[in-house]
Amino acid sequence: MKTNMRAALAGLATGTAMLAGMMSQAHAEDIKVGMLLPYSGVYAALGQDIDDAFALGLETFGADAGATFDIIREDDEVKPPVGLAKTKKLILQDEVDVMVGIVSSGVLGAIRDTVDGAGVPLIVANAGNDEATGEACSPYITRVSFSNHQVNTPMGQWMVGQGVKKVFTIAPDYAAGRQMIDAFTAAFTAAGGEVVGQEWPAFQKTQDFGPFLANAKASGADAVYVFFAGGEAISFVKQYDSFGLKADMPLYGSGFLTSSLYVNAEGPAAEGVITALHYVPTLDNPENAAFVAAFKEKTGRIPSEYAVHGYDAARALVEAVKSGATDRDTLAAALPKVAFTGPRGDLRIDPATNNIVQPIHVYETVAGPDGLTQKVLATLPAVADPVNGCQMPSVN
C-alpha cells in the first residue's frame, strides 16, 4: 500500500514537473512579432539595418526575458496600400502579439487606424510622422525612434545662433518631407531667421535636382536646409557638390542626409555638410561602444541611426516582457513605461504622447582614417515634443 502510494506520488510529481515544463515551453513561444519594413525599393537598406539590429538586440537582451520571439517579416515596399495590406495579414492571419518597424511616415499614417482598432501594440522603429504621437496618437503605438518635429526643431534654433539668417529649403513632397521642413522653418523663423524659398521635388521620382538647385542659388540664401534619405540623399548630396554651391551656400539638414549607412556612397561631396540627429556612431559612451562593436562584428557595417532604432526597439520589447507583459494589451500598457540607457544615452517615453524623449546631436561629416565619419559639434538637450492634439486614452 505504501509502495503504491509512493509510486503514485512519484508519478504525480513527475507529471507536475512535465506539465510545468510544457507550460514553460508554451510561455517561451508566445511572443509573435510582426516585422513590417521595406525590404525592397528606395529604403531597402534602411529596413535591413533595422532588421539586423533588432535581431542583435534580442540576442543581447532577450536571454533572460522568459520568452522566445518568433519574427514574421513582411515587405511594405514603402507603399502605404501595400503596408496596410501586410498589416492586416500580420494581425488577422498571423495573429501577431506585437508589430515592429515602419520606415515610411506615409505607411505609418496608412496603418494607424488598423493597428489601433485591432488593439495590436506597434513599436515604431523609424517613421517620424508627427501625427502618430500627436493628434492621431494611440495607446497601442509607441515610438522608440524620433519624430519629424524632434530632429529638426533644435536645428532651426541652433543655425540662427551660428549666424545663418536666410535659408532655402528642399525636401521630397510626402508626409515626412513636409513635416521635417515645417518643423525646421517654424523654429528657424521663430528664432529670427527668414526662409527665402522652398522646393518640393516629387518623392521617388526626381533624378535631376538641377532646377531646384538653380532656384536655391538665385535666392540670396545664406544656406540650404534639406531633408532626404536613402538613395535620394546620395543623389542630392552629389548633385549639390557638382553644382558648385557648397563653398558659398553651405548645406545643412536633418542627419538622414548623411547617414552612416550610405555616407561613403556620397564620397567627398558629403564633407563639410552639417546635420542634426538623435544618433551618430561616434557618440562617446560605453553603451554605444558595445553596440558599435557588436553590430560591426555581426554585419561588417558601422551602425546607422536606423540600426539603433531596431536595437532599442528590441530592448524595449524585452523590457516590457520582463515586466510581466505577455499579450497585446499588457504589452501595449508596458511599452510606454520602458526607460533605459542605450547607445543614444538616456531614453524614456513621454506618457502624454508615447513618443521617445532623447537628446539631439549636431554633427559635421568629415574625412577620417577609415573613410567619412561624424564630428559632433553640439549636443542639444532632450525635450519632449508638444502634445500636438494627443489625448491619450488608456488601453482597452
| Cell numbers at 22, concatenated | 510544457
| Distance between CA atoms of residues 129 and 139, nearest Å | 16
Residue 3 pLDDT > 80, yes or no?
A: no
- 21 or 247: whose pLDDT is higher? 247
Domain of 330: which CATH number?
A: 3.40.50.2300
**pLDDT above 80 for 84:** yes
Query: What pLDDT, on a 0 to 100 scale, did the predictor assign at position 19?
Result: 38
Q: Is residue 7 part of a domain?
A: no
Say whether both 366 and 223 belong to one domain. Answer: yes
- Determine, yes or no, domain membership for 13: no
* Mean pLDDT calculated for residue range 153-177: 95
How far apart CA 51 and CA 190 sit, in angstroms, is 38
State phi, psi for 220 to the nearest 5 degrees. Answer: 80, 15
- pLDDT band at 396; cut points 50, 70, 90: low
- Do 253 and 372 fall within a single domain? yes
Q: What percent of the chain has pLDDT over 90?
A: 81
| Residues 373 and 233 reside in one and the same domain | yes
Q: Are 177 and 203 in contact (CB under 8 A)?
A: yes
Residue 204 is assigned to a structural domain of this protein? yes
Instruction: Estimate the share of the chain in helix, then strand, then coil, as percent rounded to the nearest 5.
Output: 45, 20, 35
**pLDDT for the residue 376:** 94
| Shared domain check, 233 and 170 | yes
Number of domains in the chain: 2
45 and 56 inside one domain: yes
C-alpha torsion 158→164→167→172, nearest 10: -40
Q: Are residues 153 and 272 in the same domain?
A: yes
What number is the average pLDDT over the span 44-69? 95
pLDDT in tens, 65-74: 989 999 999 9
Strands 345-350, 339-342: pairing is antiparallel
Question: 262 and 186 in one domain?
Answer: yes
Q: Check whether residue 254 and residue 107 sit in a common domain.
A: no
Whole-number mean pLDDT of the chain? Answer: 91
Task: For residue 101, report the phi and psi dihedrals to the nearest 5 degrees.
Answer: 130, -140
Establish if 75 belongs to a structural domain: yes
Domain containing 373 equals 149-277+362-380
Q: In this structure, is residue 25 part of a structural domain?
A: no
C-alpha cell at position 114: 488598423
207 and 338 co-located in one domain? no
Does 89 fall in a domain?
A: yes
* Residues 135 and 42 reside in one and the same domain: yes
176, 149 contact by CB (below 8 A): no
Predicted pLDDT of residue 13: 41
- Residue 15's pLDDT is 42
Lowest mean pLDDT of 163-167, 260-264, 391-395, name the range.
Answer: 391-395
